[in-house]
Amino acid sequence: MTNHMFSVHAKMKPLVDKCLKIEDEDLEVQNMATEVAKAEETKEKEVTCDNKKKLEEDAARRMEELIQKNVEERLNSEETKLEMQRRIEEGRKNLYDDVDVQLEKEKEAALTATRQKEEQARKEREELDKMLEENRRRVEKAKRRLVLELQRKEEELYHEFELIQRQKEEAARRTKLNDKSLSCVAGS
């Protein structure tokens, strides 16, 4: 903002210089008017009070006409018109440039915000993927443990079944042996 103010000040300097030049010329006109007034003052001493008042009014009127004419000539000069047009165009260009710069800054800010959001979303997706992978591994591990536990229990049941089967066979064999022993004893 300070640079902009400085550039506006720098751009206004020629106009200020021109105004100062006009003021200097106005001072010259005033000096001329003063000389006219002095000359008239000398004449005034020679004339009556009524003439004096009339001369003052005429002098003031002529002075005002001279100043008005000088200002109009300067304002209507081609150089002044061109300078005013140049400054207007320069101001318009600067305004457009400022708007372009501001729009570019806003565009950059929007792009940066979008990139940050995309980066955040990517990180969140990666974190979610890691969590899902960890959960999948845990489920797989739990399944393996469950399968191993079921296999172990199945083997235990199978061994119990074999033991019971052997015990039945052993009992059936003993019963046969006992029956044979009893039939041998009964047959004798």
Angle between helices 2-46 and 78-187 (to 10 degrees): 160
pLDDT value of position 169 = 92
User: What Å distances lie between residue 61 and 25, 70, 75, 92, 186, CA to CA?
Assistant: 19, 14, 21, 41, 174
In degrees and rounded to multiples of 5, residue 180 shows phi and psi of -65, -45
**From first to last of its 188 residues, what are the pLDDT tens digits of the chain?**
555 545 555 666 666 666 666 666 667 767 776 777 777 777 656 656 667 778 788 888 988 888 888 888 877 888 888 888 999 999 999 999 999 999 999 999 999 999 999 999 999 999 999 999 999 999 999 999 999 999 999 999 999 999 999 999 998 888 888 877 777 766 55
pLDDT value of position 52 = 72
pLDDT value of position 161 = 93
pLDDT value of position 186 = 64
Q: Token pair for residue 134?
A: 């960890």
Sign for the CA dihedral angle at 124, 125, 129, 135 comes to positive
DSSP string across 36-50: HHHHHHHHHHHS-HH
82 and 41 in contact (C-beta within 8 Å)? no
Residues 6+ apart with CB under 8 A from 33: 59, 63, 66
Please report, for the chain, the start and end positions of each structural domain, with discontinuous segments joined by +.
2-123
Beta strands in the chain, from DSSP E residues, in sequence order: none
In 3-state terms the chain splits into helix, strand, coil percentages (rounded to 5) of 95, 0, 5
55 and 40 in contact (C-beta within 8 Å)? yes
Q: Taking Cα atoms as reference points, which of 25, 13, 36 lies closest to residue 87?
A: 13
pLDDT value of position 150 = 94
pLDDT value of position 31 = 75
Instruction: Tell me how far apart the alpha carbons of residues 15 and 86 are, in angstroms, rounded to a whole number.
Output: 11
Q: Taking Cα atoms as reference points, which of 75, 31, 73, 40 lies closest to residue 59?
A: 40
